[in-house]
Structure 1
Amino acid sequence: MSERFDQGMIVRRRVLGDAHVNRAEANKTDFDEPFQTLITEAAWGSVWSRDTISPRERSMLTIALLAGLGNDHELAMHIRATANTGASKEDVLDALLHVAIYAGVPRANHAIKIAKETFAEMEAKR
């Protein structure tokens, strides 16, 4: 693997947690291995590894973009990741308020529902 892959895996584990990454790695097949390598190098090794903005800010941006695009499964995953990025519930709400204005109320409404469910699951596990 590349140096960018190694850096990406460090950041991916820091943001998403070892349990999530271990599951993804355990479920990896020959078919999706190139995709897993791509996201580890590109998303985590190239973008999330940059130090121009904080992990908290990057988390909020990611949540807003995922909500605005309707990527619900990824949205829940990144809301869970706020436990590792420092983004608070209030930060998530502010990001989703921006979604309402710039991407549409229905997208934000659905994302808020997902956020409430995800935060409740997170609190139940404490």
Structure 2
Amino acid sequence: MVKQSAPQELADIAPKLVEVTDNVLFEDVWERPELSPRDRSLVTVSVLAALYRSEQLPYHLGKALENGLSVEELSEAITHLAFYAGWPNALTAMTQLKKIADDERAA
């Protein structure tokens, strides 16, 4: 897995947040062996979509694809969560997934 890190442009105003994100979230939690990176990505994308965290979602959709999830699997997860987390949340997540999938096909 490619090393993840907090947005470094935030370091000048939130150095501790960047440090904790890098050292605790990405270097510890994401590396724990009890879940694979693929499974962690599925959980992360689902929660971000369910909570309408649309600013963070595109990055994690891309990471989910890098971690082995397919566009079809992500689409199915988002469709499933529509009934539990709300239709607008799912449509927003699906729109972001479509953009990422279209960009990948064009590349």
* Corresponding position of 1:95: 77
Q: Residue 33 and residue 73 in structure 1: after superposition, are their counterparts in 2 closer, same or farther (change >3 A)?
A: same
Single out whichever of 42-51 and 66-75 deviates more from structure 2: 42-51
- Measure the CA separation in 1 of the matches of 2:11 and 2:37: 30
Q: Residue 35 and residue 72 in structure 1: after superposition, are their counterparts in 2 closer, same or farther (change >3 A)?
A: same
SS in 2 for 1:87: coil
Q: 1:100 is aligned with what amino acid? A: A
**1:121 aligned to 2:106?**
no
Work out the number of aligned pairs and report it: 107
Q: 1:49 is aligned with what amino acid? A: E
Single out whichever of 67-76 and 37-46 deviates more from structure 2: 37-46
Equivalence map 1:46-61=2 (5 Å): 46-61=28-43
Q: 1:66 is aligned with what amino acid? A: L
Unaligned runs of 5+ in 1: 1-10
CA shift for structure 1 position 109: 1.2
CA shift for structure 1 position 78: 0.8
Unaligned runs of 5+ in 2: none
Runs of at least 4 residues off by over 6 Å: none
**1:67 aligned to 2:49?**
yes
- Measure the CA separation in 2 of the matches of 1:67 and 1:94: 13
Single out whichever of 45-54 and 59-68 deviates more from structure 2: 45-54
Is the CA contact (8 Å cut-off) linking 1:15 and 1:85 kept in structure 2? no
**1:76 aligned to 2:52?**
no
CA shift for structure 1 position 104: 1.1
* Corresponding position of 2:24: 42
Percent identity, aligned pairs only, is: 27
CA shift for structure 1 position 28: 4.2
Structure holding more helix per residue:
1
